[in-house]
Structure 1
């Protein structure tokens, strides 16, 4: 968000911070010598969904304080209110030292000079091994090749399939189309649920684009590329699958859960949904199918943890974010946030590797791709990609023409 925009945020938001700060909890502890270090960090986080998650985070921060002597003041803010309150504090220069940050916001905040560039800390004596993090997760905090924080948690999507309709899940796009033809029953069984609409569809779509061998943007992220070359195979696939997926069936309430849809793309949240709410559903999960000759990829969601440029204690802040994302604590943070660990060693844990469902998500994480790190991406995602996919999915317009035009519109937004 541009500085001039941030400065125009209405004053009432700033006043609203008083109520947010009332939720702050000072979890400071004295060090072994009875004296406190000079550093004090304000740390803003999403309000966990459970008391257990909240207590786990508080305990983890206390552990950090005992090791370092640094004071940390935790402020819990409901996720829906988080960005508004954060922007309000940035506008008046009263932001926290450290906070969670939604992945696609990192490029704009970095461009505005709000975030601390942590390259020198990451590569210093007290640095990190970048290979400890999943590539897609670490990419989410890279802007112009420089680190502006560390990945905190991640999520991705895989293919869900109805085992009573699909004996073996598709590995390739062609397999998927052939299965679609076999299972389709007009007005009774749909081959594919679709990918939703609007911004959500645009978030899922890169999983197909990259699995087709294409990309959303070029290598240096100066132009979008989802409307050219191999990337167009993703739109063609969607159009083909939907020929065997009647809208009337897809619009039925809980269609996949009730056994009316053969395949869908979704996240780990739907595993418990179907286990708990549709116990008769015989379903499995598998990697996203890929274009012949290519490799399965998926998208990336989640949050990063960042340090603000105006912090008085950058070294202490760096110690904190490194502590929370190491191979031990990344597991706890995944439990607190409800997503997957960003640390490769943390993900190599029986909780993820031995579960028949979560193990597939863990495998998919290896090739999950971060969203483009360009300042205009949220606008392009929602207003261009999302609306264009609606034309393909809902209106049945020619996928090649639609996505080529979408690419032109997106590059115009970028001034290309």
Structure 2
């Protein structure tokens, strides 16, 4: 089975050609043939040239004979899109494709048993932060076209679907959170956190049940924006080195201090009194100016007929943009597939500009292809544009297994920092100690 750019048939062809060349040269004239290469070698990544020596797109791979594919994807609009992609792919390549509904969060677990049993999908959708265990178990193949994807996709989408420097994913969508604001209450969209605090402070009146600003203050997913913007980080080397933890450095402490300022000046509530349902209700009732939230919150606001907009998170007092966490949905190819060439071609086809634009039109999901950011239809959608601008400076959630103990420890740390007004450095030091202990247990 080809791991990168070469099928079993292609490998056989290489060996045959090598022996033929040796035979023709009498085994002595190595110099004359040392640079000879078969035409189809490494075709998944090679770039051909035309007569003018201008690079062209990589050649299409040689598809396995009688290939047929099974694809796992989410239900709802994702299923509708996947079936539309399958239909178009079959028309173009004459390869039958069956789409089954398996939620992206369930697919990695299901593949653990179905993959080795040869029952798993050839191509499946999964969140990027679940692929560390799949790679460790040898359950997914690497992306057959890495250079093309690194050129054409957002950095966050590539980083999120890469393990140990190897790209595995074919990104289909990216999401992150941004600043959602009530247009009827906000006269000027704040460009800095200081400006946001000033506006929010003037509007907040706890006795009237109205608040200038809210966010989920005990959820590290949302809090990473501040921490990352100040120079904090989860793991070193772009979240790949779990021996280097930056969750209690100077930047992380500054994030904790900013949260305490927000509590004192604009959001005088305990963490237990702030949740997604409360924020949504206040926003619909025009009693909330600013909320940090994601695309999943948009439908309810639209149904509530709220006049709202979306903008990137305001810059911090160091002039840096908050580095929000992002999630990347991507297709992956099952390493046990009988048709690695066809499966990889399908994943590539599904993440083409045309198919990802169709996905946006059918589901509103944000395409991670950089060229689509220039698309007039996407640019004219103020809501999507706001989230995409934030996504461009986002950091994908770490996808290595050592991330598991981070969530609980950091959620608890920021809850304590918020509720008890405790020295952030002391609390974050304790959290990092807890995380290190958790990582040690994982490796035993």
With normalisation by structure 1, the TM-score equals 0.79
Q: Shift of the alpha carbon at 1:321?
A: 0.8
1:268 pairs, out of 295, 307, 312, with 295
Pairwise mapping of residues 276-291 of structure 1 onto structure 2 (< 5 A)? 276-277=303-304, 279=305, 281-291=306-316
1:205-240 C-alpha deviation (Å, 9 max, x unpaired): 222222223323212521321221223222221221
**1:205 corresponds to which residue?**
223
**1:246 corresponds to which residue?**
268
Q: Shift of the alpha carbon at 1:341?
A: 0.7
Alpha-carbon distance in structure 2 between the residues aligned to 1:45 and 1:394: 41
Change in 2 beyond 3 A, CA 1:81/1:230: closer
**2:178 corresponds to which residue?**
158
**1:224 corresponds to which residue?**
245
Pairwise mapping of residues 84-233 of structure 1 onto structure 2 (< 5 A)? 84-90=109-115, 92=117, 94-118=119-143, 121-123=144-146, 128-188=148-208, 189-195=210-216, 197=218, 201-220=219-238, 221-222=240-241, 223-233=244-254
1:333-388 C-alpha deviation (Å, 9 max, x unpaired): 3445552111112232223201222221222221121111321213422x222222
Classify the secondary structure of the residue corresponding to 1:372. Answer: coil
**2:82 corresponds to which residue?**
57
**1:41 corresponds to which residue?**
69
In structure 1, list runs of 5 or more residues that go unmatched.
1-35
**2:12 corresponds to which residue?**
none
Alpha-carbon distance in structure 1 between the residues aligned to 2:414 and 2:397: 17
2:357 pairs, out of 331, 341, 348, with 331
Is contact 1:150–1:322 with CA below 8 Å preserved after alignment?
A: yes
**1:32 corresponds to which residue?**
none
Q: Shift of the alpha carbon at 1:154?
A: 1.1
**2:427 corresponds to which residue?**
402
Classify the secondary structure of the residue corresponding to 1:44. Answer: strand
With normalisation by structure 2, the TM-score equals 0.75
Aligned residues, how many?
367
Classify the secondary structure of the residue corresponding to 1:389. Answer: helix
Alpha-carbon distance in structure 2 between the residues aligned to 1:399 and 1:261: 27
Residue 77 in structure 1 maps to residue 112 in structure 2: no
**1:308 corresponds to which residue?**
334
1:72-115 C-alpha deviation (Å, 9 max, x unpaired): 22212355754554444246453222100111101121122111
1:293 pairs, out of 319, 334, 350, with 319
Classify the secondary structure of the residue corresponding to 2:332. Answer: strand
CA RMSD for the aligned pairs? 2.7
Alpha-carbon distance in structure 2 between the residues aligned to 1:100 and 1:171: 36
In structure 2, list runs of 5 or more residues that go unmatched.
1-63
1:295-341 C-alpha deviation (Å, 9 max, x unpaired): 34322124111012222221111111111111111122344555211
Alpha-carbon distance in structure 2 between the residues aligned to 1:349 and 1:264: 27
**2:91 corresponds to which residue?**
66
Alpha-carbon distance in structure 2 between the residues aligned to 1:133 and 1:327: 10
**1:30 corresponds to which residue?**
none
Classify the secondary structure of the residue corresponding to 2:314. Answer: coil
Q: Shift of the alpha carbon at 1:196?
A: 5.3
Query: More deviation in 90-99 or 307-316?
Result: 90-99
Residue 341 in structure 1 maps to residue 367 in structure 2: yes
Is contact 1:45–1:77 with CA below 8 Å preserved after alignment?
A: yes
